[in-house]
Chain A
Amino acid sequence: MEILNIKDLSFSYPKQDEKAIEIADFSVNQGDFVLLCGKSGCGKTTLLKLLKKEISPFGTLKGKIDLNTENIGFVFQNPEEQIISENVKSEFAFGLENLKLSTDEISLRIAETASYLGISYLINKKTAELSGGEKQLVNLGAVLAMRPELLLFDEPTAFLDPICAKKFIDLIFRINRELGITVIIAEHSLNELFSLSSRVCFLEKGKIACYDTPQKTAKFLKNNEFEKALPTSARIFNMLDFEGEPPLNISEAKKFIEENFKPDRFEFEIEKFKDNALEVKNVWFRYEKNSPDILKGVNFELKQGEILSILGGNGSGKTTLLNLLSKLLKAYSGKILVFGKDIKKFGGNSLYSENLSYLPQNPTSVFVSQTVLEDFREIEKDENVIKSIASKFGVLHLLARHPFDLSGGEMQKCALIKVLFKKPKILLLDEPTKSLDAVFENDLADILKMLKSEGVSIIVVTHNVEFAATISDRCALLFDGELTAICEKHKFFSQNQYFTTASSRIAKSVFENAVLQKEVVALCQKQKG
């Protein structure tokens, strides 16, 4: 049975001629798991919001949306902004009170939902104490307790780290399979979702370009700009021009490589660097006198013109380390040298002018003005310089906008540009790919490589293994307060079994040392001739 049917729908925002949404025909069956994908600004969010009339955007709507249900749940992107109450229990109760349920019914629904999602242990906590992943689980629970028949998700994992994101997606999948709730989910990272979905809808400029099974959509996306977002397994297949269905997960792709190719190895060169930009010697840190040590003797150096990625799980102290390097926190033991000079000897703002810049995880905190231009002007007075740099990075059209009106990717890019106006020689980045789609991630990688060629030394702290493998010279793992295994990226990722790129997992048994998709493809093409 169809739960949703759209006929000749068009929607445009006020004062805009261009139609944000133009859909001739779109229907979803009960129990389906539909993935909405497309470049940022393609209309994913607008379409989802049009389906939930309480939050429909203002504008001109033509056409028909037939919904077979009244109970629609909506989970937003940012876990923080959608939390209403001070503690978890009342957060659950809020929606149920709106449904005018009695106290007994509410208690039962809270108990039932929390146990089903496995978050009973959170029920008496305050919402402010929860981690991002836990917050998003509470949001899902609060919506699920209202017993929706259709669940809409607007990039629900954009603010989560990969491990939480994977758990969250598994949970959505379980809800779909076990409870038969129809799911429509908009996402930009498709790696996990692609093979789980029953149908994939690809939007381009508000129009449906393709709405089909995951395999067929993967084929359709070949040579499209958005192909970058596809799971690695499908991309490798697409790039090799094979006939048939593309593999959508690692094990299928592994089989495909093993069947078609002979063992080989990838030869890589190690770039030589000379002088140290940053030296960290035996640094120890804890937040309070009686709290446990977060960093236990961290040792490393960053060469001039090098990109170093620091990987590690949640709470392993990655952000703390960056705060120490940018003098926001002080180590209680050990030394940090910036271009050979002790970091303590940099007085006032001298460390931050043309030496070292730090882009924190949350780009909203970088903006303090009404427009992006004003924010840039705080640092760079010359408007011509601003304009030339803005056009170089492709953000000229954003200058007049309010920073908070930008999309996640645009905001991250503008924040980075603002930081770059300080002309840093050392750049520290904390999770720069969070909430970026594949296209923006690619842009960012290009920008970082360009900076590297200009001699800037960069440290990137990230969960994103693929991104680290693309941009880094060396990688390191922060675990239990120590920086272990600092080495060249090919060595780093090919010796790891779990903490490695999808390409390496796929090709490991056949191709030695190949950790990037282009390296695997190059080796394959060599054999194909």
Chain B
Amino acid sequence: MRDLEKFHPAALGVYFVCVLGILMFLNNPVIIVISLFSGAFLVLLLKKFELKSLVFLTSLLLLICISNPLVSHKGATPLFYFNSSPITLQSVVYGLFFALMLIAVIIWCKILNFVLGGDSFIYLFSKPLPKTALILKLSLRFIPLFKQQYHKTKNSVKVLGLYNGNKKIKSEIRVINAVIAFMVENSIETARAMNARSYNNKYRSRYRFKKFGVYDFCFLVLTLILATLTVVFKQKFYFYPNFSEVSFSLGYLTFFVLAFMPIFIVLKGELKWKFLISKI
């Protein structure tokens, strides 16, 4: 699983933009199913599966599946009538696939967050937008600090008997106010520490903690070729009034390869280890 993170953030960034873009804009059931399977498989491989999110995603699926046909009555095949309006097969299926697409997007964003989180993400922006990247970097650092101070202050207010369970909102606002004051105070010191380390926003070099190597280049080119082919050979799909036909198209094959590429990479790494261990 280390192998995926080893790639340069720029190459990974392009890859995720391609997959998520195709998934969201083509709105094609085959593409959705492929990305759902590959995404789920990848999450399992990276050992990032959580039971809690499964419950959340299932309830999301049910909610959209039920609510879409109740609101949208388009479609040629009525299944039954509810409150004298038709519930159509097309709108049930559309709801299902829309929900599946949302779930696939959530899963892929989770992978994105894991593979390209925090500093690598900011690193992507540090060349075109150095100041924005620095601000983003400072704010990311502030989130855990804020959380920590929030808990401390809330506990202190509680043991002073000033946290009123009946006026929860008022009590919370007071805690959050105090934490914000603390954070402002804190940031003055941080600014001072930045100055003490000769910070000057005009002249800085940029530390490239990852180098763009041959593998990154190949990964990037392959991604771009596959994504372009998928878009060029796409098959349009309509849900309303009747489902359009699904036949084999080159676009599906290229997207399949694109979506399963990280899995090959991760699996290759794992197999390599198995092989190495058996040799040792």
A residues with CB within 8 A of B: 52, 54-55, 73-74, 76, 78, 80-87, 89-90, 93-103, 106-107, 126-128, 142-143, 146, 323, 326, 328, 348-349, 352-353, 357-358, 360, 362, 364-369, 378-379, 404, 418-419, 422
Contacts and interface: CB of A to CB of B under 8 A. Distances in A.
A404 B181 contact: yes
Interface in B175-212: 175, 177-178, 181-182, 185-186, 189-190, 192-200, 203-209
B195 A54 contact: yes
B207 A90 contact: yes
A89 B207 CA distance: 10
Given A352-B160, A404-B181, A103 B208 contact: yes
Interface stretch (B15-23, B80-88, B144-152, B216-224): B144-152
Contact of B153 (A86, A93, A348, A368): A368
B207 A97 contact: yes
Given A89-B209, A98-B198, A328 B159 contact: yes
Nearest to B130: A97
A84 B138 contact: yes
B216 to A, nearest CB: 16
Interface of B: 118-119, 137-138, 140-141, 144-145, 148-149, 152-153, 155-165, 174-175, 177-178, 181-182, 185-186, 189-190, 192-200, 203-209
Contacts of A107: 207, 209
A78 B198 contact: no
Given A126-B118, A328-B155, 4 more contacts: A83-B190, A93-B207, A95-B198, A369-B178
B185 A404 contact: yes
B118 A99 contact: no
Given A90-B119, A349-B161, A362 B152 contact: yes
Contacts, number: 150
Contacts of A367: 178
A136 to B, nearest CB: 12
Closest 9 CB pairs of A and B: A352-B161, A82-B193, A81-B189, A128-B144, A368-B178, A95-B197, A349-B161, A365-B152, A93-B207
B38 to A, nearest CB: 28
A86 B118 contact: yes
Given A85-B137, A360-B156, A80 B186 contact: yes
A74 B195 CA distance: 10
A352 B159 contact: yes
B239 to A, nearest CB: 43
A54 B158 contact: no
19 contacts: A81-B193, A82-B190, A84-B197, A85-B119, A90-B137, A93-B209, A99-B198, A99-B205, A100-B204, A103-B209, A128-B141, A328-B158, A348-B165, A352-B159, A360-B159, A364-B152, A365-B182, A379-B160, A404-B185
Contacts of A368: 153, 157, 162, 174-175, 177-178
A110 B199 CA distance: 18
A418 B141 contact: no
A143 B197 contact: yes
Contact of B182 (A326, A358, A404): A404
Contacts of B148: 128
Contacts of A378: 160, 162
Contacts of B157: 368
B160 A87 contact: no
B52 to A, nearest CB: 14
Nearest to B150: A365
B200 A84 contact: no
B192 to A, nearest CB: 5
Nearest to B194: A84
Contacts of B185: 404
Nearest to A90: B119
B45 to A, nearest CB: 22
A76 B193 contact: yes
Chain B CB within 10 Å — which of A86, A107, A369 has the most? A86
Nearest to B211: A103
Nearest to B163: A349
Contacts of A52: 196
A87 B192 CA distance: 19
Nearest to A99: B198
Contacts of A349: 161, 163-164
A422 B161 contact: yes
Given A97-B204, A349-B161, A368-B177, A84 B190 contact: yes
Contacts of A126: 118, 144
Given A96-B207, A146-B197, A368-B153, A86 B160 contact: no
Which among B165, B195, B207 has the greatest number of chain A C-beta atoms within 10 A?
B207
Contacts of B164: 349
Nearest to A322: B159
A496 B209 CA distance: 50
B252 to A, nearest CB: 40
Contacts of B138: 84
- The winner among B118, B161, B165, B181 for most chain A CB atoms within 10 A is B161
A365 B189 contact: no
B204 to A, nearest CB: 5
